[in-house]
Structure 1
Amino acid sequence: MPYNAELVAELNLLNHFNLGTTQEGIKVHHNAAPEMIEAAKRLFDKGLITQMDGGYLTDLGHEAAEHSQSLQTILTTPVQIDTTS
């Protein structure tokens, strides 16, 4: 199943969370991009964040954000190809 625009918006929102602490959440303001507002609502409905406009990650949300942020790192890190062989 390919990523659609809604899933990409949810992944982008998950990438805004600081995984180094559970004491820091996010707030999606009413004047944010509509796709981010809707992504926050969907993540809340899925039980990944604590508030419809952000809040904190739930345990499942933390796991999802870890995967999302790891995937972004993997896909954006240049690979060094060994051409000496």
Structure 2
Amino acid sequence: MSLSPEKLDEINLLLQFPSDSIMNGLKIHNDAEQSVRDAAARLHSKGFTDSPDGGYLTDAGIEILNHIKLLNSALK
């Protein structure tokens, strides 16, 4: 099994969310790369963010981000 470019885009976008506070989010602007805007929309449709253009992480988003950070740390 390998990760598709779309999944990698989603992971990379999740890693961009501020981790110092759940009260901080991201705003994906209309001039962002299409792959980033698409990743943001997919994360929203999966319930990981509260807005299709970034927004805040949901509880599920925070949980998946913690898993991604753990994996990222283990692979360093």
Q: Output the TM-score relative to the length of structure 2.
A: 0.92
Unaligned runs of 5+ in 1: 77-85
What percent of counterpart residues are identical?
Answer: 38
TM score, norm. by length of structure 1: 0.83
Unpaired segments of 5 or more residues in structure 2? Answer: none
Where do residues 14-33 of structure 1 align in structure 2 (5 Å cutoff)?
A: 14-33=14-33
Structure possessing the higher radius of gyration over alpha carbons: 1
Moved over 4 A (4+): none
SS at match of 2:70: helix
When the two chains are superposed, the root-mean-square deviation of aligned CA atoms in Å is 1.0
Provide the residue aligned with 2:12 in structure 1: 12
1:30-75 Cα distance to aligned partner (Å, 9 max, x none): 1111111000000000000000000000000000111112222222
In the aligned structure 2, how far is the partner of 1:75 from the partner of 1:36? Answer: 24
